[in-house]
Amino acid sequence: MAEVIIQENESLENALRRFKRKVQQEDIIKEIKKHSFYMKPGEKRRAKEALSRKRLRKKQRRESE
């Protein structure tokens, strides 16, 4: 759980910026999105394979340049 304690003479904007950074580092948003809907195991596998193919194509493109 991300928690930020506002320090003395710290603006709300700075505290909010620190909070957002902490949430991003702890991958809270990613977890929420991951659990926001149900994916069948086959769909999950196909999505994972598609992502793998995409990364491989991108890697090959970079190597050829």
Average pLDDT over residues 42-64: 95
**Sign (positive or negative) of CA dihedral 26, 30, 36, 39:** negative
pLDDT at 11 over 90: yes
pLDDT at 28 over 90: no
Average pLDDT for the chain: 91
pLDDT at 34 over 90: no
19: left (phi over 0), alpha (psi -120 to 50) or beta: alpha
Average pLDDT over residues 46-61: 96
Task: Say how far apart CA 23 and CA 40 lie, in whole Å.
Answer: 28
pLDDT at 63: 92
Average pLDDT over residues 34-38: 88
| Closest listed residue to residue 3, CA positions, set 11, 13, 18, 51 | 18
